Amino acid sequence: MTQRPSFVAPLPRPTPPPFPMLPLAPSPTYVDDFLKYINSAEVLAIDPSSPQERRAFVPEDDLHGYLSESTIRRLLSCYNLSATECTSIRGDYLIVFTILIYIGKGIHIAQFLAHERLSDRFLPLLNDHDLPHGCKDFFDRFYEAQWRFCAQRLRIGRLNDTQLDDRRIIPILESEALHEGPDSCTYKVKVHPSYNQLLEKIEPDATTTDTFVLKTCPARNDHHHYDEVQAYKDMRTEHDVMSNMVRFFGSWKQGHTYYMLLEYADGGTLESFLQDTAPPTKREHIIMFWERMFDLIKLIARIHKHPNPNRRHEYLQGIHHDIKPPNILVSRKRNPASKYDVIFKLADFGMADFVHPGHKEGELQRRDMNGTQMYSAPECYRNETNSTSMHMIREGAPSKDIWSTGCVFSEAAVWSVLGKDGLHEYHDERTAATDKLPGFRSTADSGCFHDGEKLLEAVIDMHRRLRQERRRTDPLIDDIVNIVEDMLEDSGKRPDAQRVYERFSNRVLPNAKANAEFSTNQSNRSQWPPAFRVPSDTASGRPLPPELPPEHSALGITYDPTTPQSMGFSPVLPIDNGLSFHPPLLPTFNGDRRPYSTPGPTLKYRAHANQGSEALEPLGDALPNGSPPHSCLTRPMSYPCPGNIETTQYPSRKPKANGATSLLGSLTIPKESLNRSASKSPTLSSEPSKSHAPREEFPEATIDQVEAWMNDTKQNPSTASLRGLEYLKRLNGRDHIFLFDDSSSMKSHWKESTRTFETLAYLVKTKDPDGMEIRFTSDPSLKHHHKDRKPLIRYLNKTTPSGVWDIGCTLGEILREYNWAFSDEQKGLSSLWRKKRKQKWGVNIYVFTNGVWAEGQNWLSDVVDSIKTLLKKGVQPRQIGIQFIQFGEDLEGTERLRILDDELQEHGVPKDIVDTERHNGNVFKMLLGSMDRTWDEHHPKSSQSHTLNGQLPASTPRTSARPVS
């Protein structure tokens, strides 16, 4: 058997010198000068966790500045080496050459030049495997010296929990402790600019800086470090929201400590911002501040539903778990428009987690991470005095972040109206309230926003005060408080972050900006009488008008220069423009700032839908001469100076079910002014002013036309919007129920019913926050609910109409479901502004039918009784709308629908609750006719195609309708 020869390493081939030796060796003065320069160029780096320990390093850029090609040539001459490789040394071996000279081995540079793996790019060298023959004997000296010249470069994307040698120097020049705790510590650090290769990734609007935040975590808490790093990595692809999240630049481990490098926000935290900055007083600054704040909501919405980077059609559900003012940082812009033009950034993702949603309707079954208890939700409350409660595992859900954010925004709202003193007072009031509760006093829960179950009364009282003491230049605070109160509802009733953001950005903000533009376009202040001139707002104070200020947005009235003797005013009570009616701040004779109020009869108002701003409209029978609401919009009313006169008081604020108040303050108008204006002013008649511009024609569109527009839009996204689409904004925030008459008589109309639903659902699918609903007369308890119309259409296609059903019984059962919203405990409270406002303020029911129902008259009494029951419980007429959409030509069915449309007033049902329209009629009337009497009374030609002068043909028998009590 042949023995396999053992492997013998080949002998190293001698490396020939790359250049001939110089005949003469000049003085070593150049080497000495270079060594002196190295010592003078040393910079001391700080270890933040051991600030007393400093390590010297020489910046690479300084070496490049010193070692020009001519200097390298002179240094080579000291070792009798040729200068032909000066370019290679300067480009790729500069640090290696420096280290060799530093340890007295500069002559060996020729051997290093022969090996690419010995160039600067591969430093630091951790072993001698690649060293050429004759160089290994000084490797230990090279190894120890190299760290001085190999400080860690901070490159974006190159620090991914990298394991660094303990000797590697992090080029931190300055360090300041920001927070030191048992689990982690954070430091404000300044890195050497030569090693900062992170700036190109910071958003262009931010200031360039070498200052960052370094977060350290001991190895025993490595799970906190990994969780936070993973959270930052999960979010780093979301470029549209990343500006509102602290930037993550990399992480590494060195020794027994984990490090994380984060963006430093130069404006401090939101907590310090609210303490150090005076609140905005100018309208544009108030709007700017809240715009910046709500950018945070957009980020939170993305955290709660984050696209899965591994599966494009799935999302991850994240929770931050610790939203609070200290975790919201403030970054100043490079060229800010004002001190409120900042970027708010969410920080500290140490508790954040991202997981796949569970399978129980998307509900996550995961553990709650405690977070800061003051801003924690009531469902996360742990009684510190009860060991069992402290150790109970509670379920975590994104709604806890909504509560925490609501608390933060509540404090920001207080600051915006009352300043930092009001903010301190707010905290003291909450602390006093919670200290009275068992288990709260002297705990981390002291000063929180709940009592363990529900919102504190102290919070509700403060919100009431904000509405009462709002600045006259503030067009947003009422809507902000409404949004905040919704965020502080019970966990199951809180809106998600996406809904909160859309409500603000799509409704509240555009209204405020339009309002601001309107005010800007008004006449100059110098045109107003002296009593109306007020000093400009300043950052140091909150001046109030000496008289009722002529501002549309703040008071809902305008000055009428045509009647200077009487100082006439016109109520500008928003109807369809989404502007809120705000309580005015009027002076009393003692100078107190409070709503001007005198007891007197109440001018009645009612609410109607609009885009998130709850608008109020005076009832016609409550105005002089019984004028209809629309005619009062520009009617001037005299307003003499305050005195001992009888007054008519606008509705004063009433508490909502949770103690919060309505937007209405106590605006008082002298009664004799109303009477005098009614008798003397020609514009006070019930007829609209002749100078008014003609009212825009009602938009009309059939199902065929809308369907064609839908198809055009799908093929060409730039297709012009459907005319009149803006009218449908009034459907926002309501339940939308489609009730299908699935009697056998509808079988021939079923295909057309499905097509009609497909078109209407396309228009309203975004209006119902939690999705549309379809039901059937055969079984009204059976509900099919979805935000997308396609699953509902599929179900309709599977349905076969059969039998004969009672429409009255079906509608009655649906309407009775809404009784819970008006329980006995809420009687006597304002139906517009309840403490526990529901997330939806109304319901639209669309009944698809031919009117051929079960025999008898019970259908009418069931419908009437159900509606009247709701009205008795406090529901406003415009909170409920029943729209019958007729299919077919059945004469008896047509007559029944006519009774519902025209004769319900005889039974005590307001006219604008029930409406009918044919399926081939006006789509806008189908959607709006049941909630607006102007639409109810509008009869386009398409609606009259089957009648003669508005009457049934003579041969049509009329069904007598017995009165219903």
Q: Among the listed ranges 93-107, 595-609, 809-823, which one has the minimum average pLDDT value?
A: 595-609
pLDDT for 625 equals: 35
With 80 as the cut, is the pLDDT of residue 848 above it?
yes
With 90 as the cut, is the pLDDT of residue 604 above it?
no
pLDDT for 486 equals: 94
More confident residue, 323 or 352: 323
With 80 as the cut, is the pLDDT of residue 311 above it?
no
Strands 593-594 and 586-587: antiparallel
What is the chain's length?
965
What percentage of the chain carries pLDDT values higher than 90? 38
Distance CA 286, CA 683 (A): 36
Residue 59 Cα to chain centre, angstroms = 45
Residues 678, 778: one domain? no
With 60 as the cut, is the pLDDT of residue 609 above it?
no
Which domain-ending residue is among 151, 169, 193? 151
Domain-embedded: residue 239: yes
Distance CA 741, CA 754 (A): 12
pLDDT for 648 equals: 38
What is the C-alpha end-to-end distance of the chain, expressed in Å?
Answer: 118
Domain-embedded: residue 596: yes
With 60 as the cut, is the pLDDT of residue 652 above it?
no
Query: Which residues, 6 or more positions from 91, have their beta carbon under 8 angstroms from its beta carbon?
Result: none
pLDDT for 723 equals: 87
Short-list 940, 761, 734, 732, CA closest to 844: 734
pLDDT for 945 equals: 40
Alpha helices (H) in 800-944, listed in sequence order: 807-816, 858-872, 891-902, 923-928, 933-936
The pair of structure tokens assigned to 11 is 């002998």
Distance CA 702, CA 698 (A): 13
With 60 as the cut, is the pLDDT of residue 920 above it?
yes
Domain-embedded: residue 10: no
Average pLDDT over residues 63-78: 93
User: 317-321, 382-386, 519-523, 824-828: which has the highest mean pLDDT?
Assistant: 317-321
pLDDT for 28 equals: 65
Beta bridge partners of residue 615, listed in sequence order: 608
Question: 5 vs 10, 11, 12, CA distance in Å?
Answer: 14, 17, 20
Average pLDDT over residues 265-290: 95
Q: Among the listed ranges 139-153, 210-224, 477-491, 689-703, which one has the minimum average pLDDT value?
A: 689-703
Domain-embedded: residue 754: yes
CA 423-424-426 angle, 5° bins: 65
Residues 258, 285: one domain? no
Residues 280, 231: one domain? no
Domain-embedded: residue 692: no
Q: Among the listed ranges 200-204, 229-233, 341-345, 713-717, which one has the minimum average pLDDT value?
A: 200-204
Q: What is the dihedral of CA 870, 876, 880, 881, to 10 degrees?
A: 120
Residues 628, 772: one domain? no
Domain-embedded: residue 293: yes
Strand, coil or helix: 436: coil
Backbone φ and ψ for 421, nearest 5 degrees, come out as: -65, -40
Domain-embedded: residue 723: no
HEC per residue, 511-551: HHHHHHHHHHCCCCHHHCCHHHCCCCCCCCCCCCCCCCCCC
Distance CA 501, CA 592 (A): 37
With 70 as the cut, is the pLDDT of residue 881 above it?
yes
| 685 CB neighbour count, 10 Å cutoff | 14
830: left (phi over 0), alpha (psi -120 to 50) or beta: beta
pLDDT for 696 equals: 55
Residue 254: give its domain's CATH number.
Answer: 3.30.200.20
With 60 as the cut, is the pLDDT of residue 799 above it?
yes
pLDDT for 289 equals: 97
Residues 501, 364: one domain? yes
Residues 439, 357: one domain? yes
pLDDT for 826 equals: 42
Which domain-ending residue is among 684, 703, 718? 684
Q: Are 325 and 344 in contact (CB under 8 A)?
A: no
Average pLDDT over residues 392-411: 86
Residues 457, 335: one domain? yes
CA 783-785-791 angle, 5° bins: 110
Residues 209, 245: one domain? yes
192-204 pLDDT, tens digit per residue, is: 999 998 875 445 5
Average pLDDT over residues 357-380: 63
More confident residue, 870 or 534: 870
More confident residue, 511 or 536: 511
Q: Are 926 and 886 in contact (CB under 8 A)?
A: no
Which domain-ending residue is among 151, 177, 206? 151
Q: Among the listed ranges 203-212, 571-580, 811-820, which one has the minimum average pLDDT value?
A: 571-580
Backbone φ and ψ for 66, nearest 5 degrees, come out as: -85, -45
Residues 853, 936: one domain? yes
Beta bridge partners of residue 843, listed in sequence order: 735, 880
The pair of structure tokens assigned to 933 is 């009497």
Backbone φ and ψ for 607, nearest 5 degrees, come out as: -105, 160
Query: In which band, very low, low, confident or very high, does the pLDDT at 364 lie, cut at 50, 70 and 90?
Result: very low
pLDDT for 457 equals: 93
Residues 477, 343: one domain? yes
Sign of the C-alpha dihedral, residues 512, 517, 519, 525? positive
Query: Which residues, 6 or more positions from 906, have their beta carbon under 8 angstroms from its beta carbon?
Result: 963
Domain-embedded: residue 538: no
Average pLDDT over residues 741-756: 93
Average pLDDT over residues 209-213: 91
Q: What is the dihedral of CA 542, 544, 550, 553, to 10 degrees?
A: 40
With 70 as the cut, is the pLDDT of residue 139 above it?
yes
Residues 288, 428: one domain? yes
pTM for the model stands at: 0.54
Where do we find the tokens 């031919």? Answer: 850
Backbone φ and ψ for 850, nearest 5 degrees, come out as: -105, 0
Total number of domains constituting the chain: 5
With 60 as the cut, is the pLDDT of residue 560 above it?
no
Query: In which band, very low, low, confident or very high, does the pLDDT at 20 lie, cut at 50, 70 and 90?
Result: very low
Strands 779-786 and 842-849: unpaired
> Which residues form the domain of 316?
270-383+392-505
Average pLDDT over residues 558-587: 39
Residues 252, 283: one domain? no
pLDDT for 197 equals: 86
Backbone φ and ψ for 212, nearest 5 degrees, come out as: -140, 175
Query: Which residues, 6 or more positions from 379, have their beta carbon under 8 angstroms from its beta carbon?
Result: 394, 400, 491
Short-list 914, 912, 919, 921, CA closest to 961: 914
Q: Among the listed ranges 70-84, 225-239, 669-683, which one has the minimum average pLDDT value?
A: 669-683
Residue 402: give its domain's CATH number.
Answer: 1.10.510.10
- Average pLDDT score, the chain: 75
